[in-house]
Every structure is written in structure tokens, then in C-alpha cells.
A and B are shown apart, each in its own frame.
Chain A
């Protein structure tokens, strides 16, 4: 009495060449994460004013390390993981492989782009942090490298859309399988959202860094950056939602209830792209009215995450009750907590509840004055990307690597220890940063050498250091598990993806089939973006390129 969320529930497997592309993206992403995590330890200890950067090879300053940390973990890892994992879910959802040339090209583009950015950062020509606000100026290799990373995601999107078109031609009038719909919607959202960053880098920063433009417009660049810089978090989050909606119900022994609700949530993410101004609440040059409009849209985009909380929690409840859990919350303890993939992702969901609430605080217009650019912000986003997303990557890896390698997970017990220790590490770490932030502790500051310090930052700083150290140790255990699984896991027959089914099938008549017409939603989203950003862009055209900049600061 339920409908599978893929086109071919049995008997489909991807060709080896495509699985290899998935594999390379995944392992490269985790290798990059390892570099980011090593940097992270130093940044966590920084808030307890313990300096260890002088013992690091190559890296010379706190800000160089922080740039590497942000670019590795937030830009390269996330794109690599999404490119790999979503290629797999799209292909599995449609029951057809994606265009091999595009998938291969995406991998090489990502790889070359990452190397270029890595070069610029490692030689110290790009200590501009991962937001790279001009007029701080990096080497051109940094900007071109990041542009290539973004372009790699567009190539995956093109491969998805080509496969979707072919699938539709073969299945006229059929609903797009839910797993494929979620995967494709993720990239369609990102195609729109990434336009701001693309224009900023390609039209302004890259020519400027090559000396082709006399200067740069800091306000325009920053606004284009944040046009992408907020919805980029949905590009981090939605691949995880694909897992939470599409796979976790099956992994826990439950089922997803509503097909329609799931699609509506993804469509809302496509629609509500223009929310980036809420990162500029305390900027001059942006009117209060624009700020309040965007605060409203920001609250609106909280709605699909509340839908997700409902839908995913219900799937978990079905699982817990099927497994004999009773009462109002008894079912929660009956879901298979001994499965490290499930435990990691359910812990990630709990972190996301807290991350969402703290994010709503950041987006709260006047409340933003209290916490803008304080340590509260990294406290918040280590709950979201640093735990909800990262710990879900880990949880997915706990079935995905065995699936890709045809090997059993090495030591599920160690994996459980890893998931729980990481979760508690983040809780301590983020509490430290958020508490410090409320007391005025700034983010992005070399506290070891700072010319100021307030005594009330001491306890939050210690918590940050302890929590961060636990996160570091836990991630090292994760890398050990990955290496041991790939090299020494017991060989087994490869299985299939743990895709779920929906209790309510996708209706083929009524208004619901229109949800699959992504082009409508793209048009609506572009129109809304122009309505919100149009006046600002018109006022800043042509750009005032008066600001000369500060080179590799």
C-alpha cells in the first residue's frame, strides 16, 4: 500500500564509471574535510587563547588557517559531496545513468578549481576568509578556482536536466520519481542562487585581480556575494534533506507519509531564494524597508524546514511504533539507535532544531544588532553546517562507502562512539561560542594576539576549546573508520540504496502534477529575486570601481 520513490524499485544499478565519479567526489570531499578539521582545532583553541598555529606546517597566520578552514569545509567539501551523492540519487531515482561526459567534466572541474584555490591559500596569497569581501584582494588563482568549483555544480545540474528530459520523453504524463525530484530541485535552486556569486567573481573580482579593472565596488560585491551566500546554505542542506526524507525512513524501518508535502517543501526552497540581505542588516546603503522585506522572506523560508521537522519526525514515529515503541515519546527510543548511519543523522536532526532556532534569531531584524559578527554566528552555523550537515554526511558515508566498495562498515561500534562524541562536542563548542557572542566576543579574531579581552569571555572560551577538541578527535576517528572500511572491511555482495516509499502516492490529477514543472518555479523565483534585488542593482549600476584594495592582507 505504498509507492516507491524511485522509477525502478528493483534491478537497477549504476555503471562502474559513474560509481567511480561518485567515489572520487566523496573521497576528495573527505580529504578536504580532513584539512579543514585540522585547521579547526587551532581555531577552537584560539578562543581559549591557546596558540598552536606556530606548530603547523605551511600555515603562518590565524587568518590564513581560517580561510583554509572555511573554503575547505563550507565550499569544497559541500560541493564535492553534493556532486557525488546527488549524482547517485538522481540516477537511482530516474533509473538511468547521467551523461558520463558531464559527470566526469564536473569532477575534473571541481578538482582543478580546488587545487587552484588551495595554491593561493597555501602560499598566503588569499588570506581573505571564505567570504573574501573586497577590497581585500586575493590572487586571481583563488577567484578562478572558486569559480570552477561553482561551475562543476552547474555541470551536474546540466547532466540531471538532460536525464530528466529523456526520462520524461519515455514516460509521458508520469510523475517524476520523488527521489529524483528532490535531487534535481536541489540543483535547480542552486543554479538560481549561485548567479550572484558567479557575477561577483567573473565580472568584478577576477578582472580586478588581473589588473583589468581599476578598482572594485565593495558594497555591490558584498551584496552579490550574500545573494548567493544565504541560499548556499540550502545547497548544503538540501542534499541532507534528500537523505532525511528519502532514505532515513527506510533505514529506521518506517515510511515517508506524504509525497506532496515533500515536493512542496523543495519547491518553497526554489521559490524563496532572495533572502541574502539578512546578512547585511547592519550595513549602510541598504534601506530599512528592504531589510524588513527580507526579514519576512527569511521567516517564510523557515516554513519548509518546519514542514520537514513534521514529515521526518512522523516517519521516525512510524518506525519507532512498528518496532514496538509506545506512548507519546517512547517510540523515539525504539528507532534503531545501534545503526551508526541512523544515529548520526538523527543526532544531526536534533542539532538542526537548535541550529534553526538560533538562525531565526540571527534573521530577526533588530535582534541581529546584538549578535552580528559576534561569536554567536559561528556558534549557530556549527550547529547547522558543522553538525546537521557534517554529521549527516558522516551518517550517509556509513552506508554509502560500504555500498560503493562492497565492504562492511569497519567497527559499527566505533562509528557509534564517533557520532555521539561529535554531537556532544558540537553542543559544548556551539554553546561556548553563542554564550561568548552574547557577551560581545567577536568572531574571526586572532584572540591569542588580540589587543583586548574581557574577563567574561573566559568560560565560553574554555567551552569552545573543549568542545572543538572533542569534535576534532571524533572526526579523526571518522577518518580512521573510512580508511579501515575501504582497505579492510569484510567483503560483501553490494546492495542497493536504502530508498523509502510514500504512504500517499503522488496524485496524477489535480494541482499536484504542476509541482513537477520546475520551470514555473524557476520563473517565479527569478521574478521574486528581481523584485527584491532589482532596485538595489539599478542604483548600483554602473558599479563605482573606486576602491583600490588591500592585497593578500
Chain B
């Protein structure tokens, strides 16, 4: 027969069930440690693999680009050179025309017309209306002088106008 004490215990057991506590008193767990070790090892292996793959990708296609920048950096002012060559060509032509005139004519009569392409600043191509005295300072050449300094002996020099 169930006595009163036993009934109380049973009721207490139903109303206040005791939680079962899992208490592990072992410090080392071989399986856990191996699992941790292997996991860390795998992680290191995977990270190393990723890093290696990245490095491989980075250095796999190293291409030494034959840069165009270097080629573009060599400046040769062709237009300027051409204009200077043209300028001196015209100038030499005028010079030669006058020499021809001098050698052919001997300057007894002015027969050969000089085709002067340039309007000299002193304006002394005509003999009429010329004052009895002209003085000009700093007469530049009659042609719009290109910048010679940039093309002297093909060197690339600093731009300055004559003197």
C-alpha cells in the first residue's frame, strides 16, 4: 500500500521534475581534439590553396606591355621643322634671285624683276617715294620667323624665339 510519504514524492516528482545534468569530468576528449585539429588543418589547407590559386592567377599571365607611352614621349615637331625648312627655302630663293640679278645684270639697269614673296618691313622695294634717310631699329626678317630653336640639328630644344 502506498503511504502518504510515497504519494508526496510522486507528486513532487511530477510537479518539480529534476533536470538531469550532464557533468563531464574528463579534461581530454580524443575524438573532439582530433576533430578540432583536423578542422583547423583543413581550414589552413583551404586558405593556403586559395592564396596559392590567387598567386598563380596573378603571376600566370604576366605581360610586359610594349608601352606606347614611351614612343609617344619622343617629340618630333614635324610641322615646325617643315615650316622652318620652308621658311629658309623661301628666304634662300629670294637671296638667290638677288644674286642672279646682280650677276646677270651687273646692276647697270634694273631689268630682271625680282619676285619677292615677302613684304619686308622696311618697305624699300621701290625706288619711288623713298625718303632721303631711313633708320630702322630691330628690323626682323620679313617672313614670320618660325621658332628655330626647336629644330637645331634635330634636337628637341626649348622654345625661344630668335635671341
Is B truly associated with A? no
A residues within 8 Å of B by Cβ?
A: none
B residues within 8 Å of A by Cβ?
A: none
